[in-house]
Amino acid sequence: MLEIRRRRTILAAGLALFVFFGTLSFAGELPDHLSDEAFWKLVTDLSEPGGYFRSDNFVSNETMFQYVIPELKKTTRQDGVYLGVGPDQNFTYIVALQPKIAFIVDIRRQNMLHHLMYKALIELSEDRAEFLSRLFSRKRPADIGSMSSAEELFAAFESREPEREIFYSNLQAMKQQLVERHGFTLSSDDEQSIEYVFRAFYAGGPDLTYNGPNGGGFAAARGRMPSYSELMLQTDGMDLNRSYMSSEQNFRILQDLEKKNLVVPLVGDFAGPKAIRAVAQYLKEHDASVTAFYLSNVEQYLFQQNDDWSKFYTNVGMLPLDSSALFIRSVFNNLAVQYQGFGSLRSASMVSSIPDLLKAFQAGEIRAGNAGYYDVIQMSK
């Protein structure tokens, strides 16, 4: 009896060591895919309570967002970690950089749900044409396919009218994909929020803008915003369209990441106490480092909100960073673009070294307020 107990004790100890070292092995590298349970645990455990922003931000309003991609591809290694904010302009950067995992951190819970909408539609679609048919609730034109250019795709859908039956059919398919297939837990408010965003694409179609289907909102007086289709037809300044809708190959790269649950949307305040720090801890546990962090113009607001800018850079300082890691920021003409010689353009996209900016911050070289925002713009190119 004693011998049997001794053997059981040795076996149990051996199993415990196996589990322990197996856990260490898993924690030592990023997974090549996440289970549905692991994905949803990241979304829920790493997120903060939702906050307020003054716009729905259905699509981007940054027409030059591709201009930094040649520099990113030249200096940023693949298989790193991408962080971003906002809606689908992130997809174009993700396709260009091909990270091992991407986290989209936005203060609005609606943005997280917006990305879940995209996730479901991208996973359900055979190709770009089917994706656009589902996104806009319009019948797929017969004369377009996987070989069609982005121009041909959007021209074909421009003349199509939305159909209520298609809208409700796809809305139901999305809910089934997210709740029944993936097992994500969505409240009734979450489902209503997804429907709200999806209805904007139904009403606006390819012409949907940052301000919504009807072009209203606080920014309407600042001039016409670019439409979804116009944003997808932009180039990198060298006549090359790098958007995730520019080719079937680009779409497949994004679709593969979505199907592997490697595009993780989070609810989080850049200056908050949890989301970015939780991402930092997760990456450290998996021996991974950030290679790119797309900010849009969030810094502009942080520098206007007491010491939120300082809290944000403190949070960034906790991230494991690649030595070549870059901030991608959008700068709008009403404050700082004029200093960089962009003239009358609404906005410009720029990059700067994250390690260099953190060194300046830690040395006390970044001022508070608009002057500090000007400091970080001066460090960009």
The answer to pTM > 0.85 is: yes
Residue range 333-343: average pLDDT?
A: 51
Residue range 22-29: average pLDDT?
A: 51
Residue range 59-71: average pLDDT?
A: 95
Which among 63, 92, 96, 98 is positioned nearest to 78, based on CA atoms?
98
What is the arrangement of strands in the sheet containing 81-84, beginning at the earlier edge strand? 263-267, 101-106, 81-84, 290-296, 321-332, 347-353
Percent over 70 (pLDDT), the chain:
87
Residue range 59-67: average pLDDT?
A: 94
Between CA 285 and CA 27 the distance in angstroms is 5
Per residue in 206-265, pLDDT (tens digit) is 999 998 987 543 334 345 789 999 999 999 999 999 999 999 999 999 999 999 999 999
Separation in Å, CA 315 to CA 255, 278, 359: 30, 10, 14
Which pLDDT band, with edges at 50, 70 and 90, does 84 fall under?
very high
**Which residue stretches of the chain are H helix?**
2-27, 36-46, 69-75, 89-97, 109-124, 128-136, 150-158, 164-175, 188-204, 228-232, 248-259, 275-285, 298-302, 308-316, 354-362, 369-378
Between CA 163 and CA 185 the distance in angstroms is 29
Q: What is the pLDDT of residue 361?
A: 97
Residue range 354-366: average pLDDT?
A: 97
Per residue in 311-321, pLDDT (tens digit) is 999 999 999 99
Residue range 42-64: average pLDDT?
A: 94
Asked if 317 and 362 touch (Cβ cutoff 8 Å), the reply is yes
SS3 327: strand
Between CA 81 and CA 320 the distance in angstroms is 10
Which among 51, 91, 114, 66 is positioned nearest to 298, based on CA atoms?
51
Between CA 302 and CA 25 the distance in angstroms is 39
What is the DSSP code string of 225-266?
PPBHHHHHT---SSS---STTS-HHHHHHHHHHHHTT-EEEE
Q: What is the pLDDT of residue 98?
A: 97
> Which phi and psi (to 5°) does residue 330 adopt?
-105, 130
Q: Residue 52: pLDDT above 90? A: no
Which pLDDT band, with edges at 50, 70 and 90, does 8 fall under?
very low
Which pLDDT band, with edges at 50, 70 and 90, does 20 fall under?
very low
Which among 107, 93, 60 is positioned nearest to 229, based on CA atoms?
60
Q: Residue 288: pLDDT above 90? A: yes
Mean confidence (pLDDT) of the chain: 89
Q: Which residue has the higher pLDDT, 5 or 49?
A: 49
Between CA 70 and CA 64 the distance in angstroms is 12
Structure tokens at 341: 């010689």
Asked if 122 and 254 touch (Cβ cutoff 8 Å), the reply is yes
Q: What is the pLDDT of residue 223?
A: 54
Per residue in 99-136, pLDDT (tens digit) is 999 999 999 999 999 999 999 999 999 999 999 999 99
Q: What is the pLDDT of residue 7?
A: 42
Per residue in 150-176, pLDDT (tens digit) is 999 999 999 999 999 999 999 999 999
Which pLDDT band, with edges at 50, 70 and 90, does 25 fall under?
very low
Q: Residue 17: pLDDT above 70? A: no
Lowest mean pLDDT among 16-25, 331-340, 344-353: 16-25
Q: Residue 81: pLDDT above 80? A: yes
Asked if 161 and 141 touch (Cβ cutoff 8 Å), the reply is no
Q: Residue 21: pLDDT above 90? A: no
Q: What is the pLDDT of residue 215?
A: 56
Query: In sequence order, what are the residues at sequence separation of 6 or more whose Cβ sits closer than 8 angstroms to the Cβ of residue 11?
Result: none
